[in-house]
Amino acid sequence: MRGSNLRSGRLPDHTGRTRVLTEAPADVPVPDWPLSGPSDREAAVWEAMWKRPLAVLWHEEDATALVALYVRKQVECEAPGSPAALITAMRGLADDLYLTSAARKRAGVTIKPPGETPASVTPIRRNAGPSTNADDALGVLARWRDLGTEFGPETLQYIDAVAELANRGVSTPPYEYLDHQQQGA
Q: Residue-wise pLDDT tens for the chain (185 aa)?
A: 344 444 444 444 555 667 788 888 888 999 999 999 999 999 999 999 999 999 999 998 889 999 999 999 999 988 888 888 888 888 889 989 999 888 888 888 888 877 665 544 433 333 333 444 445 778 877 877 777 777 777 777 778 888 888 888 888 888 888 888 888 75
Q: What is residue 30's predicted lDDT score, i.e. its pLDDT?
A: 94
Residue 51 to residue 26: CA distance in whole angstroms: 5
Residue 67 domain flag: yes
Q: What is residue 1's predicted lDDT score, i.e. its pLDDT?
A: 33
Q: What is residue 128's predicted lDDT score, i.e. its pLDDT?
A: 38
Q: State which residues form the domain around 172.
A: 119-180
Indicate if 105 and 125 belong to the same structural domain: no
Residue 151 to residue 158: CA distance in whole angstroms: 6
Residue 185 domain flag: no
Beta-carbon contacts of 87 under 8 Å, excluding residues fewer than 6 positions away, are 77
Indicate if 108 and 152 belong to the same structural domain: no
Q: What is residue 13's predicted lDDT score, i.e. its pLDDT?
A: 53
Indicate if 52 and 124 belong to the same structural domain: no
Q: What is residue 43's predicted lDDT score, i.e. its pLDDT?
A: 95
Last residue of a domain, one of 84, 112, 140: 112
> Which parts of 37-146 fold into alpha helices (H)?
40-49, 55-60, 64-77, 84-96, 101-107, 137-146
Residue 172 to residue 170: CA distance in whole angstroms: 6
Residue 161 to residue 125: CA distance in whole angstroms: 11
Indicate if 11 and 63 belong to the same structural domain: yes
Last residue of a domain, one of 112, 145, 165: 112
Contact 15, 108 (CB under 8 A): yes
Q: Could you give the dihedral angle defined by the CA atoms of residues 170, 174, 178 and 184, in that order, rounded to the nearest 10 degrees?
A: -30
Name the phi and psi angles at 77, rounded to 5.
Answer: -65, -25
Q: What is residue 117's predicted lDDT score, i.e. its pLDDT?
A: 54
Number of domains in the chain: 2
